[in-house]
Structure 1
Amino acid sequence: MEVTRVLIVDDDAMVRTGLRMVLSADPTIQVVGEATNGQEALDLTRNDPVDVVMMDLQMPVMDGVTATRQLRRRPDPPAVLILTTFHLDHYVLEALAGGALGYLLKETAPQEIARAVHMAAAGDSVFSAQVTERLVSHISSRESDPQTHEARRRLARLTERELEVAEGIAAGSSNASIAADMFMSEATVKTHVSRILSKTAAENRVQVALLVYQARRTS
């Protein structure tokens, strides 16, 4: 039985204890350590690799955004799941742009937390399309925003079909759902997704979704 190794990073001891209890109930998940800030997370994973890091955002010494960026620059980096208490928080956007595979609200149901860990370990994105779209809109809706123009420029590299797939990703659809909606095989969708990631220089599906939402901004 393959076990997913998890590091919990949060400066709140109660949050760490609660997450450890939730994850330890799943025999295929092993919590291998806890850290109280981003620097500790970097130190703990330097010589003892893990599969998934569950990362709080606002912590002393080093915040979760900075730690996420540094972790994702490493060779064979772990997947990072952001833990947040807020639906609308610009730190979440920064962490997603920095390579996090997704985010969880701290009040997420236990079974969903374990499911999200398994999804992240498999390389799948974990995010709520509705919350992410509201988050982007909350941060800025200005037509002159440089990020809006940059997002549109990167998406302009896509073919019409690839753009339709990107819209499906932004809606939170799986490859299977996109394939059914667009009357194509999953293999074809996977090919489109690979080309989208390459053409837009996005690291994962969440970053593709962010580009789509940023490109939609209007004055």
Structure 2
Amino acid sequence: MVSVLALNLVSCAQKLPRYRTEALVKSSAVRLQWAAQGRDEEFASITDALEAGDRFLERGKLSDAEQYYLLALRKAEFVEQLFVDEQLRLEAQKLKAEEERREAERQRVLEEKNRKLIEERELAAREISRKAAKAAAREKEREVRPLAVAHTVKRGETLPQIAARPDVYGDALLWPLIYRANRDQIRDPKRIWPGQLLKIPRNVGRDDIAEARRYAQERRLP
């Protein structure tokens, strides 16, 4: 930098260039605001232009000094815009990264929901399959199990209980069929005895079944 004395002598002789003050203000502002960002070569370039302008000013070459001060001003403005663009770029990167994080979180939540939905559907399908298999097993058991044509009365049994057995009729209301087929040894349907061998009629029609249910509903047994 030129000495303060030299600048004072020049300033007394002539008016300082208009761009010198603007360049100094702008370069100082840029340095204060963006010094932490590094880029020492940009600041050094501005300083070189200012010093060149001061040297020409000291020699009284105002026009040449003006050009270097204008150059310093433009360099300072360029560096300022450069750092502004850098800040905008960094901010855009942050926004993009945040958006990507949010999108990743949305995808994670969506995938979790889909996973749970698939698990629930698979669980429901397994439950349906289990029930179907159980029902098929019961049906097969009924098909395989032979139907009784006779039954030996056990202690505590009643005609409705015998009629309700899967190998008899599976319906407690059909006890009158057993009663009527065994009138020779059953006088009162409320009284049967352990050890009695009761016939289970099989050749019964729809009318017989309907009549048996009607009779059972009119005369209920314990």
TM-score range, shorter chain: under 0.3
Query: TM-score, normalising length from structure 1?
Result: 0.17
Higher helix fraction (1 or 2): 2
- Rg larger for: 2
The higher-RCO structure (CA 8 Å, 6+ apart) is: 1
